[in-house]
Structure 1
Amino acid sequence: MRKILVVGAGQSGLQLALGLQSHGYEVTLMSNRTADEIRTGRVMSTQCMFHTALQHERDLKLNFWESQAPKIEGLGVSVAGPESERVIDWVGRLDGYAQSVDQRVKMAGWMDTFAQRGGQLVIHGAAVSDLDYFSRLYDLVLVSAGKGELVSMFGRDASRSTFTEPQRALAVAYVHGLAPRPEHPDYHAVRCNLVPGVGELFVMPTLTTSGPADILFWEGIPGGPLDAFEGVKDPAKHLSLTLDLMERFTPWEHARTAEVELTDAGGTLSGRYTPTVRNPVAHLPGGGLVLGVADVVVANDPITGQGSNSASKCAAAYLDAILEHGEKEFDETWMRSAFDRYWATGRHVTKWTNAMLGVPPEHVLNLIGAAGALPPVANRFANGFDDPADFEHFFYDPAKTEAYLASVTGATVDA
């Protein structure tokens, strides 16, 4: 039986560990926190997972909360004008629903499941020196812990990394009491509110430790008015600031917040990081090799909501690569090929995310504007969140955008 060590108990690490476990591998999972510590701790993300990523969970029978989490059937975009009025507002319908489950719920539940199924769970932080030792005991070591000393082992890939500093200041609040959305009260949608030159507000339904809730998520351009959460430690002040900024920049969203309160004392999060693509293979001092997983090696800004989706897709790609490899050695050639398998989809996420962080060119503004009058355009844009590779066909190149809009307009006129 092949022995595999997974360091890090997030979406990718746990999904991969449970997947390997289901195929009879002897898996050890290292986490720096217990399931209870995760469950009662601070929120970790703004996860919204779309159909393909959710299907990877279903395939492994890990969709424990699918019947409880709100079904997100649409994705909407609003753009603020100079007087904080909505100059663009539309919603596209998703082909398959999305869902968001607070990672405190999911990761704690999956950790308990891994242990109950006989997996070896080690609660301990890991250092490079530990991995040096473990690499001699295990057939394969996978690092899915996305912060700290371990990440520094994986060198930055300058050819694939556009940025050298954070592009957004991030601030998250999980809340109860958000009033129903008047535009589409009969179904749930993620809403992306774009404030040109300032940043973005995302509002999404979720399932948290206390039941259904909503996430209010500001992405602020560094140095701008939304870059105001650094040093704010008090959760109540964090929420108050979130709402004040909503009133100023997205009053249509603020109008729903009269009864809002935090879900719990751990329901806020703020910070920033630099989007980076790293070398997937790290060489340990003793000669061993480890393979980086998901955002350890491909860390995108959350502006496109792809973090958990990418983590799920990476875990699925690595699981298939491991199963296909059989009893052969997990050498550096194999490690790089496993990453390349993931990068075939991951590169589209990175390209799209980096594009969304910049000032949108005229043809993209035309596309977003046209979606308000052309439902097929709105729907295609929304479903790009599930399959970002599709943006290659109608988003980046002005000529392709123009041709696509012309084809939709022609079809609409002919109808």
Structure 2
Amino acid sequence: MRKILVVGAGQSGLQLALGLQANGYEVTLMSNRTADEIRSGRVMSTQCMFHTALQHERDLQLNFWESQAPDIEGLGVSVAGPESQRVIDWVGSLDGYAQSVDQRLKMAGWMETFAQRGGQLVIHGAAVSDLDYFSRAYDLVLVSAGKGELVSMFGRDASRSPFSEPQRALAVAYVHGLGPRPEHPEFDAVRCNLVPGVGELFVMPTLTLSGRADILFWEGVPGGPLDVFNGVKDPGEHLSLTLELMERFTPWEYARATKVELTDANGTLSGRYAPTVRNPVGRLPGGGLVLGVADVVVANDPVTGQGANSAAKCAAAYLASILEHGDKEFDEVWMRQTFDRYWDTARHVTKWTNAMLGVPPEHVLNLIGAAGALQPVADRFANGFNNPADFEDYFYEPEKAEAYLASVSGA
């Protein structure tokens, strides 16, 4: 039986560990926190998973919360104009619903499931020196812990990483008591509110430890008026700031948030990081090799909501590569081929996300504006969150955008 070590218990690490376990591999999972510590800790992300990523979980029968989490049937875009009035406002329908489950709930549950199914769970914050030893004891070591010392083993790929500094300051609040969008009270949607030159506010339904909730997520241009959360430790102050900024920049969203309260004392998060693509193979001091997983090797800004989706897709691609490889050695050639298989999907996410971080060109503004009058455009844009490769066909080049709009409008 082949022995595999997975370091890191997030979306990709746990999904991969459980998938390997289900296929008869001897899997050890290393986490720096217990399930109880994860469950009682701070929120970790703003995960909204679209159809393809959810299907990867269903394929492994890991969709434990699907009947409880709100079904997100649409994705809407609003753009603020002068005096914080909406100049664009529309919602597109998703072909398959999306869902968001608080990662504290999901990762703790998955970790307990892994242990109950006989997996070896090691609670230890791994260092490079640990992996030097483990690389000799296991057939394959996978690193899915996206922060800390271990990431330094994977060198930055400058050709695929245009940014050296964070492009957004991030601030998250999980709340109860948010009212529905009056434009569509009958169904749930992710709302993307764009404030040109300032940043973005995302509002999304979620399932948290205390049931149905909503996530208020500001992405602020560094140094701008939204970049005010650094050093804010008090969760109440964090929420107050969030709401003040909503009232100032997105009053239509603030109107339904006047009675919100935090889901719990750990329901806020803030920070920033530079979007980076890294070399997928880490070389240990003793000569051993380890393979980076998901945001260890491809860390995009969350402005397009792709983090958990990409993690699920990476885990699925790696699982398939491992199963297909059989008893052969997991050498550097195989590791790079396995990453390339994932990059074939991830490159579209990186290109789209990096484009959305910049000032949108005129043809993109035209597309977003046209979606307000042309429902097929709104629907196609919304479903791009599930399949970012589709943006290649109409989003990046003015000629393709014009041809697409002409075909839809009949012009």
Q: Which TM-score bucket, shorter chain as reference?
A: over 0.9
Query: Deviation per CA, 1:132-174, whole angstroms, max 9, x where unpaired?
Result: 0000000000000000100000000001001000000000000
Alignment-derived partner of residue 325 in structure 2: 325
Aligned to 2:277: 277
3-state SS, counterpart of residue 175 of structure 1: strand
Question: 2:221 — aligned with what?
Answer: 221
Coordinate RMSD, CA, aligned: 0.5
CA distance in 2, matches of 1:278, 1:82: 40
Structure-to-structure mapping, 1:264-343, within 5 angstroms: 264-343=264-343
Opposite residue 160 of structure 2, the aligned amino acid is R
Query: What is the rounded CA distance, in whole Å, between the counterparts of 2:298 and 2:96 in structure 1?
Result: 26
- The whole-number CA distance in structure 1 between the counterparts of 2:119 and 2:236 is 40
CA distance in 1, matches of 2:286, 2:257: 56
Residue identity matched to 1:172: V
SS of the residue aligned with 2:90?
A: strand
Question: C-alpha separation between the residues in 1 aligned to 2:284 and 2:38?
Answer: 29
Aligned residue for 1:186, secondary structure, equals coil
Partner of 1:9: 9
Q: What is the DSSP-based 3-state SS (H/G/I as helix, E as strand, rest coil) of the residue aligned with 2:212? A: strand
Once the two structures are TM-superposed, the CA of residue 376 in structure 1 deviates from its matched residue by 0.1
Report the TM-score, using the length of structure 1 for normalisation. 0.99
- Summarize deviations over 1:273-328 as a string: whole Å, max 9, x none: 00000000011000100000000000000000000000000000000000000000
1-structure distance, mates of 2:231, 2:277: 28
Equivalent residue number for residue 82 of structure 2 = 82
Partner of 1:250: 250
Structure-2 separation of matches of 1:179 and 1:389? 34
Q: After TM superposition, which residue ranges in structure 1, 4 or more long, deviate above 2 angstroms?
A: none
| Deviation string, structure 1 residues 71-127 (Cα, Å, up to 9, x no partner) | 000000000001100000000000000000000000000000000000000000000
Aligned to 2:239: 239
Aligned to 2:93: 93
Partner amino acid for 1:9?
Answer: A
Structure 2: distance between partners of 1:192 and 1:289: 41
Counterpart Cα distance in 1 of 2:117 and 2:11: 18
Once the two structures are aligned, what percentage of the paired residues are identical? 87
Aligned-partner Cα distance in 2 for 1:315–1:304: 20
Shift of 1:180: 1.6
Tell me how far apart the structure 2 counterparts of residues 250 and 409 of structure 1 sit (CA, whole Å). 30
Other structure's SS at 1:207 match: strand
SS across alignment from 1:135: helix
Partner of 1:197: 197
Q: Which amino acid aligns with 2:127?
A: A
Number of aligned residues: 411
2:159 aligned counterpart, secondary structure: coil
What secondary structure, in the 3-state scheme, does the structure 1 residue paired with 2:82 have?
coil
Structure 2: gaps of 5 or more residues: none
Matched position secondary structure for 2:186: coil
Alpha-carbon distance in 2 for matches of 1:138, 1:378: 48
- The structural deviation recorded for 1:258 is 1.7
Instruction: Please state whether the residue corresponding to 2:269 is helix, strand or coil.
Output: strand
Residue 370 of structure 1 aligns to which amino acid in structure 2?
A: A
Task: Look up the equivalent residue of 1:362 and give its one-letter code.
Answer: E
Alignment of 1:131-146 (within 5 A): 131-146=131-146
Cα distance between partner residues in 1 of 2:100 and 2:26: 30
Q: Which amino acid aligns with 2:363?
A: H
1:193 alignment partner AA: N
Alignment partner, residue 166 of structure 2: 166
CA distance in 1, matches of 2:216, 2:14: 26
Q: Report the counterpart of residue 353 of structure 1 in structure 2.
A: 353
**Over residues 8-52 of structure 1, what are the superposed CA-to-partner deviations in whole Å (9 max), with x where a residue is unaligned?**
000000000000000000000000000000000000000000000
2:274 aligned counterpart, secondary structure: coil
Instruction: Give the deviation of 1:259 after TM superposition.
Output: 1.2
1:241 match: secondary structure = helix
Matched residue, 2:150: 150
* Alpha-carbon distance in 1 for matches of 2:76, 2:307: 19
Partner of 1:178: 178
Q: Aligned letter for 1:350?
A: T
Please give the alpha-carbon distance, in whole angstroms, between the structure 2 residues aligned to 1:180 and 1:72.
Answer: 13
- Tell me, what secondary structure is at the counterpart of 1:130? helix
1:398 aligned onto 2:393:
no
Residue 120 of structure 1 corresponds to which residue in structure 2? Answer: 120
Q: Give the Cα–Cα distance (whole angstroms) in 2 for the partners of residues 160 and 239 of structure 1.
A: 36
Q: CA deviation at 1:380?
A: 0.1
Give the deviation of 1:257 after TM superposition.
Answer: 1.1
Q: Give the Cα–Cα distance (whole angstroms) in 2 for the partners of residues 348 and 58 of structure 1.
A: 24
Amino acid at match of 1:409: S
Distance between the aligned counterparts of 2:363 and 2:264, measured in 1?
43
The CA distance in 2 between the partners of 1:211 and 1:26, in whole Å, is 35
The alignment partner of 1:291 has SS state of strand
Unaligned 5+ runs, structure 1: none
Output the CA distance in 1 between the equivalents of 2:283 and 2:27: 22
Counterpart Cα distance in 2 of 1:389 and 1:257: 34
